[in-house]
Structure formats: structure tokens, C-alpha cells
Chains A and B, each alone.
Chain A
């Protein structure tokens, strides 16, 4: 319902905005020439069109529009797919989807293979003439097997009758298929089917096991036929797959063929036995010739016209079922772009863009679910608040050795088995945070962890990179000393450090933050240095002549001058950090958006993958907007002189 509404809304808004845009051009009185930035201002309506277009593409290629407007189409297409699956093997025998008969192509390939082996044998320097003649004679005999199978006269009556039977069955099915009440369902069958339908639920349904807090993929397409039309296809598919099985069990082996292939096999067997170890090559060739003979034995090779009637019957049925599909075909072509629904045995699945591009509605539902703190992902919520005692933070910041360096000993238990606290142990309690104070809410969860990693990596990069960069821009020693180091490390992609991280820094946050720190550091150094060395000399001279100290010049002239460069550097670094975050969280994943994505990939949870992608995009955007605000506030003079 919601999908339908949104789809219509999007279409209306796109058309409306385009019309508005066109009218605006006609009525607007802006005399800006081409190249004047004035012309690019405004245009909220184009923002709406852009956003709507993305959403529309998503709705369309995830097949959500099909689901919204024709919720039963997936189920019906599933039944059609079942027919296609059972017909595929049979169709494949004839030039329906292929260019030639299966028999023809097999004969072509095997003749080619025989020729190839014959050539190899004739050219082989390691075979003697006697071996060559024997092997070539086997090849001859193998190729002469084929006419036994393709001859119209030799085909057995029994085989002919069986083919006739199958053809009749297909024809009968075609006749029945046209009848309105085709599968002739009884009330009992109907009730049973209804029960199945109620059990299986709708298309794209996702069940959640809140007990274990896991989100599992479930049946995405209901398989039991929901509609009368679907039932028809379902029943026909069943019959067809029986015929299909029968056909593939059938062998066109007449006595002549059987005796000659047996003779050939026995001869080759005897010949291989007679060879000694030094003649392995000849034995190998003989073995390969037998293999070709066996392939010919098991292939469905028939005389050129033996299956004509059957082919016609299949084509007739195929036409019928295509006609029967009617409007469904149109839905399939228009609303199921780049892919369709495919049956695999009893179940159906989406194959194509609908598979890896989850429906917006499903994604949204799953997101709502993931956001519930009780569900989360892998027992950790996306973002939630935990009440943490302030004492824990005090314990975190105060180093534990404060207690150790105090005079005295830690308490020892008494004879009565009681441990009495003394001053030293009480101090230890304070520095380890083992006491109660008021509780404050602290956010936690995947999103918060990722956010903190990026934030800390960035902070460390700024704290170390900016002073170092300024120093390098102003001081000969610093420039000369650090330059080779920085220039050597800067071009290394941050992920190149990844293999070392776990061994050196362990699996906790330190490794991940270190990676992000490496990313931001080089950017911050470069930008701070460029800022410092780009300060206009006249401003420094002016400050000097007014009697400013070195510190004052640095604080009031050079630093503000390099701020635009530094802040731009931070913006670039944020982007780069997000880029590295996912890879950093792939290592030793415990929490974080990158971890969620990596695990979801292993379980083919496409919705979760897209949710993480969207969250990362939004968080990156949030970071960037915040920075833009900071830039506007702190350096209003940027770009103005």
C-alpha cells in the first residue's frame, strides 16, 4: 500500500517539478550570461527530481513496484518458472532455444574429438606403427557407432512406442491445459492448498526470531500456487517433469549398437591389458577413446526425424502456456527488469537485480527491526544508550599504579577468612572505578563504535599532524628531518598496514584507530604545512613591525592564515577515514558498521548490507555538514581575499 502511494507520489512529483522548471525558465527575469554563477543558484525542484529519480530506480530495479501493485505476480511467475524448469531439459534437445539439435551438436563435438585424438596419435613420436594402427582402428569403430543411433531403420519399435507415448502425453496435457478447470482440483485438495498458502505467508516476508535476536532470511517467494492461474501452471509443471524424467531415462540403443559397443569396449579392455608398463601412452589413448564411446552411449542421440512429432507437441504446449500467461508476461518484462523469478526444484527465488537489491519496503522493515535494541545485530544494537556509572570513567582515566606506589601493603585475609580494607586497597578501588556514584547515559552500539573510531583517529591525526605540519612549514630542521619520513609513508595506502595491525596492536580498538590515524595524519601534515608556508610575507612583516613576539605571530598571523587549509584537510581526511573504516573493521570484527556488513555478506543478508551502506553514507554526510558549519563559523574570510 505504502509502496503504491510512494510510487505514484514520485511520478507526480517528478513530472510536476520538471514542468515547474520549464515554466521557471520562461518566466524568470535573470539577465545572467552563461558562466555567471547566478545561473546555478536555486533549483530546489531539481533536488526533488534527483532524489525521486534515485528512489524510483531503487523501487523499480528491486521489483518493489511489482510487489506493490501486483503482490501475487511473484507467486504466479514462480509457477511459470516451474514449467520452464521442467521444460528446459526437453527443450534443450531441440533447436528451440539452441541453434541445433542436441544430437547434432553432440555428434559434431564427438567427431571433432575423435579427429583430434586421431591426429595426436598419428603425430605422436612415442607410439610405434602397430599401436597407431590399432588405436586408429578403434577410433574408426567408435565413429561408426554413431550411424547405428541415427539410422531410421535401426531404431527399435519399443523406443518408437515410448516416444509416441510421451508425445501423446504432452498433447493430452495441451488439451487439458486449455480447459478452464484444468487440474480438476477436488475440495479436499483445495483445502490443503489453502492451508499451505496460509502457512507460507506473502512475498518477501521476513520472520524474526526475537528470542535469539537474529535476523534470518526466509522464503522470499511463496511457492504454493495462490491463484487459479498459478495452479494450472503448477499442475502442468508436475506432469511435465515426469515426462522429462522418462525421456532422459530412455536410451536409443538397438541390438546392433549394443553388441558393437560391447565388442569395442571388450576389445579395448583386452588391448589395454596386453600392454606392459612402458606402453602407458597407448593405454591412455585407448582409455580416452572408450570415454568418447561411453559419452556417445549415454547421450540422447536419435535419428534426425524421430523426434519431430515430439518437438511439435512441445512447441505447441510452449505456445499455449505463453498465451495462457497473458498479462503476466507483460508484468514480467516491464516490472521485473534485469532478471526474473527462477524455480529451483520446489522453491523459487529472485534472480537478477531483485536478488542483490532488496526492496525499499523490506529494507525499511529490517532497519526498524535492527534498530530495536533488543534485536540489534549479533547481540549488539545499532545505537542505544546504556546507563554507566561515572566511577567507571574515573577508573578509566586514573592510572592504576597510583595505588601501587602508595606506602604500605594490600590487605591479606585473616584467619577467620575476612578481608579488611585498608587505605591502599580503598585507593585501588577508586582508581579502578570499583565504587558507586551517579549513573549517566552513554551511547553504545555498532554506529557509535564506528563513529568513535573515526572521531578518535581523526582527533589524533589533528593533534599530532597540525603542529608538526606548522613546524615543518616554519623550521628548516623540522622540514629537513621529517620530510623524508613523511614523504615515504604518505603514499602508502593505509590498508597496506592491515596485515601488521593484529600482530602489533592486537585486536582491540587501538589497531582500527591506528589505521584511521595513519590516514588522517598525512593529510593533516600536508595541509598544515601548506597553510603555514603559504602565509603572506607582508602580513608577517606587519606583525613584526608592530612588535609582535614569535608566539604572537604564530598564534595571530600564521595559524589563522593556515586555518582554511587545515579545515579543508580535515574535510578530506573525514572522507578518507570513512573509506578506510569498513576495511579496518573487517579485521577482527566485534562491533561496528563495517563488521555488520562483513558478516551480513557471509549470510547473504542483502537488506542488512544495504542498510549499512546507507548508514555509512548518512553518517559521512553528517560529518561533512558539521564541518561545513564549523568552517563557515571559524573562517568567514575564506575565499574572500
Chain B
């Protein structure tokens, strides 16, 4: 009996001690990023410029979704998430996750995040009300989800009357092609391309832009890392903005970027054409009373999760 008791007490004690002992000394910085989502700073990733600028090694880990990035940050395995989608970030802070938004990675027209109606369904913007009662594939909780809600507002359709099916973009495309859904909301160049082969965009890129549908990817950081290593956070943002400036002036090494993002050169250029990399002033503007702040307010995001103090102004 004593043995059992001491075993139980011992294991409880051990569990209590297993409080995440993260790298407070910051012997390395762990950054999350996306493959197939090119950005100028990937060149710096390849050339280890971040490590040089930060003075410690930088470990880059690729993720599939922004939700996974948040989970890894909460588990203490990632310090900085680069180009996390805004929608997953908002969901995370709504669930009280201790992460902060410190920079805008890029803004993009919704060329690569859009809703596509199938030609077979015969639905266009003009008769969009026919969507009510039909099946629509939407990856819930992502930027495409946001685009879906916004698009429905624009075409004047009651989104609650639509039969929404939760599908990742690849599956959504497959369902659109097979005719199982009338519309699929997608993100990612490959998926959108495949979908537009059998359908057309509900809202054209220009219309979407005019209506203020805009994709914003951000850089987020865990509170812990931010408090402990403010200098490193600042350097990270600075190097990123240097890379953006280099790209905007046409001096980026595209080969190295293509290699880092795992894309073909032509596809990457196409994707990059839709991206807008802001400079520090524009970023601050966007964060304080521009696109980003408008987006956050529109989604009912709790305040106090945006920090502009790390921008290299």
C-alpha cells in the first residue's frame, strides 16, 4: 500500500514539474513558416542571414496551417510564426492564447484565396441567390472562410441558408470537379488553378479588391519570447523588412526563394505578383488605422494583441 501511495504521489509530483521549461536563454530562435507561400525573407532563411543578425541559430519549421502554428506556439515549440493567416490568429486570441501580432508579413489581393462556382451549376454573381440551399465547400476557420462570408455579403446571399461543408482546399477542388458542391472556397495557387478549370470566380479579383476583401498575413510571437528577448524580436522584424525592401527594389535572389518555398520559378512569380510587402511606415499605418485594424475590428477581435513597437521606424 505504501508503495502504491508513494508511486501515485511521485507521479503527481513529476507531472507538476513538467511545466514547460522553454528556452528562456534563447539559445536558438524557432520560427514557423509555410512552404509554397513565397516571401523575400526566405532568401535570408536560405542564406542564414537571420542567424547572423540575431547572433543565435534560427530553426525554421514548415507548417500546413496557421492553426497548427498557434498550437505549436502554445506548446512552447515555436517562438515566432511568420506569415500566419489573420483568421487563425484571431481565433487564437479569441481563445485567449498569449500571442501578439508584431508585424504584417504581406497583404495580398484575394487572387489565391477565393470562391469558385462550378460551370455545371450555372451560378454566377448575377444569380448568386441560387446558392441558398446548395452545398458549398469551405475550409472553416481559415482566410477562405472569411472570404466566403464577405463574398456572400457582397452578392447579397444569406450565408446561413447555405449548406456549408468543411473541406480542406484540395478536397474542395475535387468536390467541385466531381459536381458534389456548387461552389468551393479555396486558398493556395494549385487548388485555385484546378478549380478555375471547371468553374469561374464568383467575384473577380478586381471586384474583391474594390470591396475591401484583402488577405493579410502577419507575424506573431509568443508573449514569453517577446518579453524575454525584445531585442531579438526587433532584429527579426528588421531583417524581414530589409528583405522586403530588397524585393520591392527588384534585388532579391529569386532562385534561392524558389528553392526555399519549394515552388517552380514561374508559379512562384505568379504567386508573388499577388503579394504586397509593406514597408515599416505602411505596416504601422495598416496596424493602427488601416487594413489590418479594420479587419481585426470587423472580426470582433479583443484589443491589446497588436504591438507596433518592434517595427524598424
Chain A residues within 8 Å of B, Cβ to Cβ: 22, 61, 85, 88-89, 92, 97-98, 105, 109-110, 113, 212, 216-217, 219-221, 248, 288, 291-292, 295, 298-299, 333, 337-340, 342, 344-352, 355, 378-379, 502-503, 506-508, 587-590, 595, 598-599, 601-605
Stretch of B51-59, B117-125, B147-155, B279-287 at the chain-chain interface:
B51-59
Distance between Cα atoms of A98 and B302 in the complex (Å): 33
Give the residue of B74, B88, B235 whose beta carbon is less than 8 angstroms from that of A355: B74
- Chain A residues closer than 8 Å to B250, beta-carbon distance: none
Nearest chain A CB to B78's CB is how many angstroms away? Answer: 15
- Chain B residues closer than 8 Å to A589, beta-carbon distance: 165-167
A598:B230 contact, CB within 8 angstroms: no
B167:A113 contact, CB within 8 angstroms: no
B91:A603 contact, CB within 8 angstroms: yes
Q: Could you list 16 examples of A-B contacts with CB < 8 Å?
A: A22-B1, A89-B227, A216-B94, A291-B53, A295-B231, A295-B235, A342-B98, A342-B223, A347-B302, A355-B74, A507-B181, A588-B166, A598-B166, A602-B140, A603-B91, A604-B95
- Chain B interface size band reads 35 or more
Distance between Cα atoms of A352 and B177 in the complex (Å): 44
B92:A352 contact, CB within 8 angstroms: no
Give the residue of B163, B165, B171, B231 whose beta carbon is less than 8 angstroms from that of A299: B231
Known: A88-B227, A109-B55. A588 touches B175 (CB 8 A): yes
Q: Mark B223-261, 1 if CB is under 8 A from A, else 0.
A: 100011011001100000000000000000000000000
Distance between Cα atoms of A113 and B54 in the complex (Å): 10
Nearest chain A CB to B177's CB is how many angstroms away? Answer: 8
Known: A599-B166, A604-B92. A338 touches B98 (CB 8 A): no
Q: Which residue of B lies closest to A87 (CB)?
A: B227
Stretch of B11-19, B198-206, B208-216 at the chain-chain interface:
B11-19
Q: Which 6 A-B pairs have the closest CB atoms?
A: A602-B141, A604-B95, A349-B96, A344-B98, A589-B166, A507-B180
B171:A588 contact, CB within 8 angstroms: yes
B98:A349 contact, CB within 8 angstroms: yes
- Chain A residues closer than 8 Å to B305, beta-carbon distance: 345
Contact residues, B29-61 vs A (CB, 8 A): 52-53, 55-56
Q: Which residue of A lies closest to B67 (CB)?
A: A602
B16:A337 contact, CB within 8 angstroms: yes
Distance between Cα atoms of A242 and B98 in the complex (Å): 21
B95:A217 contact, CB within 8 angstroms: yes
B141:A507 contact, CB within 8 angstroms: no
Q: Which residue of A lies closest to B51 (CB)?
A: A113
Give the residue of A98, A109, A603 whose beta carbon is less than 8 angstroms from that of B95: A603
- Chain A residues closer than 8 Å to B56, beta-carbon distance: 109
- Chain A residues closer than 8 Å to B20, beta-carbon distance: 352
Check B178 for interface membership: any CB of A closer than 8 A.
yes
A601:B231 contact, CB within 8 angstroms: no
Check B304 for interface membership: any CB of A closer than 8 A.
yes
- Chain A residues closer than 8 Å to B74, beta-carbon distance: 351, 355
Check B97 for interface membership: any CB of A closer than 8 A.
yes
Distance between Cα atoms of A503 and B173 in the complex (Å): 9
Contact residues, B76-96 vs A (CB, 8 A): 88, 91-92, 94-96
B96:A219 contact, CB within 8 angstroms: yes
Give the residue of A97, A292, A378 whose beta carbon is less than 8 angstroms from that of B55: A292
A587:B234 contact, CB within 8 angstroms: no
- Chain B residues closer than 8 Å to A291, beta-carbon distance: 52-53
Distance between Cα atoms of A544 and B171 in the complex (Å): 57
Beyond A349-B96, A603-B95, 14 extra complex contacts between A and B, CB < 8 Å: A92-B227, A109-B56, A217-B94, A338-B15, A340-B19, A352-B19, A352-B20, A502-B175, A508-B180, A587-B167, A588-B171, A590-B163, A602-B140, A603-B91
Check B268 for interface membership: any CB of A closer than 8 A.
no
Check B135 for interface membership: any CB of A closer than 8 A.
yes
Distance between Cα atoms of A636 and B81 in the complex (Å): 61
Q: Mark B166-202, 1 if CB is under 8 A from A, else 0.
A: 1100010011011011000000000000000000000
A298:B140 contact, CB within 8 angstroms: no
B96:A602 contact, CB within 8 angstroms: no
B178:A506 contact, CB within 8 angstroms: yes
Nearest chain B CB to A62's CB is how many angstroms away? Answer: 13
Give the residue of B1, B98, B171, B223 whose beta carbon is less than 8 angstroms from that of A587: B171
Distance between Cα atoms of A603 and B88 in the complex (Å): 8
Give the residue of A88, A599, A601 whose beta carbon is less than 8 angstroms from that of B228: A88
Give the residue of B15, B160, B175, B234 whose beta carbon is less than 8 angstroms from that of A298: B234
Distance between Cα atoms of A344 and B220 in the complex (Å): 14
Known: A217-B96, A602-B91, A604-B92. A588 touches B137 (CB 8 A): yes
Check B266 for interface membership: any CB of A closer than 8 A.
no
- Chain A residues closer than 8 Å to B313, beta-carbon distance: none
- Chain A residues closer than 8 Å to B180, beta-carbon distance: 502, 506-508, 588
- Chain A residues closer than 8 Å to B166, beta-carbon distance: 588-590, 595, 598-599
Give the residue of A97, A342, A355, A599 whose beta carbon is less than 8 angstroms from that of B24: A97
- Chain A residues closer than 8 Å to B70, beta-carbon distance: 604
- Chain B residues closer than 8 Å to A598, beta-carbon distance: 166
Nearest chain A CB to B229's CB is how many angstroms away? Answer: 8
Known: A345-B304, A349-B98, A604-B95. A507 touches B167 (CB 8 A): yes
- Chain B residues closer than 8 Å to A219, beta-carbon distance: 96
Distance between Cα atoms of A318 and B228 in the complex (Å): 17
- Chain B residues closer than 8 Å to A221, beta-carbon distance: 96
B24:A98 contact, CB within 8 angstroms: yes
B163:A502 contact, CB within 8 angstroms: no
Check B126 for interface membership: any CB of A closer than 8 A.
no
B135:A507 contact, CB within 8 angstroms: yes
Q: Which residue of B lies closest to A342 (CB)?
A: B98
B25:A105 contact, CB within 8 angstroms: yes
Q: Which residue of B lies closest to A344 (CB)?
A: B98
Nearest chain A CB to B118's CB is how many angstroms away? Answer: 13
- Chain A residues closer than 8 Å to B177, beta-carbon distance: 503
Distance between Cα atoms of A221 and B88 in the complex (Å): 22
Nearest chain A CB to B233's CB is how many angstroms away? Answer: 12
- Chain A residues closer than 8 Å to B178, beta-carbon distance: 502-503, 506
- Chain A residues closer than 8 Å to B15, beta-carbon distance: 61, 337-338
Q: Which residue of B lies closest to A379 (CB)?
A: B160
Give the residue of A109, A248, A295, A588 whose beta carbon is less than 8 angstroms from that of B167: A588
B141:A603 contact, CB within 8 angstroms: yes
Q: Which residue of A lies closest to B171 (CB)?
A: A502
Q: Which residue of A lies closest to B228 (CB)?
A: A92
Distance between Cα atoms of A97 and B1 in the complex (Å): 40
Nearest chain B CB to A592's CB is how many angstroms away? Answer: 11
Q: Which residue of A lies closest to B56 (CB)?
A: A109
B231:A506 contact, CB within 8 angstroms: no
B12:A337 contact, CB within 8 angstroms: yes
Distance between Cα atoms of A26 and B180 in the complex (Å): 68
- Chain B residues closer than 8 Å to A348, beta-carbon distance: 96
Distance between Cα atoms of A347 and B97 in the complex (Å): 10
- Chain A residues closer than 8 Å to B96, beta-carbon distance: 217, 219-221, 344, 347-350
- Chain B residues closer than 8 Å to A508, beta-carbon distance: 180
Nearest chain A CB to B45's CB is how many angstroms away? Answer: 16
Distance between Cα atoms of A379 and B161 in the complex (Å): 11
- Chain B residues closer than 8 Å to A298, beta-carbon distance: 231, 234
Distance between Cα atoms of A119 and B140 in the complex (Å): 52
Give the residue of A109, A110, A248, A346 whose beta carbon is less than 8 angstroms from that of B230: A248
Nearest chain A CB to B263's CB is how many angstroms away? Answer: 22
Distance between Cα atoms of A598 and B139 in the complex (Å): 11
Distance between Cα atoms of A550 and B202 in the complex (Å): 65
Q: Which of A220, A248, A338, A601 has the most CB of B within 10 A?
A: A338
- Chain B residues closer than 8 Å to A351, beta-carbon distance: 74, 98
Q: Which residue of A lies closest to B234 (CB)?
A: A298
Q: Which residue of A lies closest to B239 (CB)?
A: A291
Distance between Cα atoms of A378 and B181 in the complex (Å): 19
Q: Which residue of B lies closest to A504 (CB)?
A: B178
- Chain B residues closer than 8 Å to A212, beta-carbon distance: 160
- Chain A residues closer than 8 Å to B99, beta-carbon distance: 344
Distance between Cα atoms of A83 and B166 in the complex (Å): 43
- Chain A residues closer than 8 Å to B12, beta-carbon distance: 337
Q: Which residue of A lies closest to B179 (CB)?
A: A506
